[in-house]
Amino acid sequence: MRTESGHLQALRAEIRSFLAEELDPGLRARLRRGEFPRRDDLVSWQRKLRQRGWGAPNWPREFGGAGWNDIEQLVFLEECCAAPAPAPHVFNITMLGPVLIRFGSPAQRGFWLPKLLGAELLFCQGFSEPGSGSDLASLRTTAVREGDSYVVNGQKIWTTSAHYADWIFCLVRTDPDAKKQQGISFLLIDMKSPGITVRPIISIDGRHSLNEVFFDGVRVPVANLVGEENRGWDYARFLLGNERASIAGVARTRERLAYARELAAATRRRGAALASDAGFLARAERLEAELEALDRTQYRLLGGESSPAERVAGASALKVKGTELFQRVMELLTEVAGPVGLRLPGAEGFGPDPREPIGVAHLYSRAASIYGGANEVQKNILAKHVFDTIP
């Protein structure tokens, strides 16, 4: 661990004792086993965080946020991951909140921010479409103005938690004639609106967290437009840029590596504890060293000495390396678990052995190098930066 200022050490200690007191041991155990948090987990945790003043680490204090800088946010995230505890709600807090704070009208801020903070409703994210993955700006869902409403038609895909979310923030095309990035708007849509259909996507881990969302003549009040019409692409880029503090996932990966070591200590293989097996140790130590280095990389890139261009490139570097390390740790964890760790949940979920859900978590981890801009796209961004800046 890097040497830390007294202020950060104190904050870390404060967060740790909060987690020790407030995190439900049952939820902690489920997350540690590799299961997804449920809706009620997310809601009650978000409320506990709000009560402590930490419901929105990335928002300014005047809107109910913790007002923390990037490094303080990272410390908070590290401690949540280490527990492990859920992070503040990613769609409400990390993604949508900052967009409303920066681009929303005063009325929108006053109406939405308290609701987001207290998880009175949960948002999901409607960006990707079947034909628009890495090439997000080619999206085709349309919104046509009719009086006081937009009428939305089209389809979103890979929508995490759409099956239990209350609202969705969507990118929609409001000007079909403009250049592709320029005709896009940012709309908030009630998931209970007539004309919305949610269809589950079962992912390769056999679980349901992803969905397709169909819009068939869905009427959305004009008041639910965020910012200006046809400026949605800028807001989306701003939103995606805000993921920097979590993009490397170092703390999450460290927690998984520690878990692999813990399981390895309790596993005997080839006549000895797996934790002392030379092959296991070689892999675990290599991963730990690379994580230590990535941790420093992210602190350097978040630390404010870098230029805006370096920050954009840095986010791509953190995403590529971070997801690669995460996936390698998940492979190691799966190997430690052996066949016991490759089960699908039965009708009553997983059985008593804590290793059982590791395989499905491993399968889901393969998405990490695909979502949020596939690693191939990140490398294109990086390559451009390297050629632009190195003489």
Any idea which residues carry the catalytic annotation?
Answer: 243
349 binds other proteins (CB under 8 A): no
For residue 265, the one-letter residue type is A
Calpha distance 385→271 (Å, rounded): 51
355 binds other proteins (CB under 8 A): yes
Closest to other proteins by CB, 47 or 366 = 366
360 binds other proteins (CB under 8 A): yes
Helix (H) / strand (E) element for 220: namely strand 208-221
DSSP of 105-163:
-HHHHHHHHHHHHTTSS-EEEE--BTTBSS-GGG---EEEEETTEEEEEEEEES-TTTT
Q: Which of 367, 373, 378, 382 binds other proteins (CB under 8 A)?
A: 367
Query: To the nearest whole angstrom, how small is the minimum distance from the Cβ of residue 144 to other proteins?
Result: 25
Calpha distance 365→252 (Å, rounded): 12
The verdict on whether omega for the bond into residue 84 sits within 30 degrees of 0, i.e. cis, is yes
Calpha distance 324→369 (Å, rounded): 7
Q: Are 94 and 326 in contact (CB under 8 A)?
A: no
Closest to other proteins by CB, 298 or 323 = 323
Closest to other proteins by CB, 121 or 281 = 281
Task: Name which of residues 224 to 263 contact other proteins (CB under 8 A).
Answer: 263
366 binds other proteins (CB under 8 A): yes
At 54, list the tokens.
């930490």
Closest to other proteins by CB, 205 or 295 = 205
Task: Name which of residues 138 to 197 contact other proteins (CB under 8 A).
Answer: 138, 157-158
Q: Are 173 and 127 in contact (CB under 8 A)?
A: no
Length of the chain: 391
Q: Which of 231, 340, 372, 385 binds other proteins (CB under 8 A)?
A: 340
279 binds other proteins (CB under 8 A): yes
Region of 85-93, 128-136, 139-147, 166-174 interacting with other proteins (CB under 8 A): 128-136
303 to 332: interface string for other proteins, x by CB under 8 A: ------------------------x---x-
Looking only at the bridges linking them, the beta strands covering 167-173 and 123-126 are parallel
Q: Are 182 and 116 in contact (CB under 8 A)?
A: no
Under the rule (CB under 8 A), what is the footprint of other proteins? 128, 131, 133-135, 138, 157-158, 201-206, 210, 263, 266-271, 277-280, 283, 327, 331, 334-335, 338-344, 346, 351, 353-355, 359-360, 362-364, 366-367, 369-371, 374-376, 379
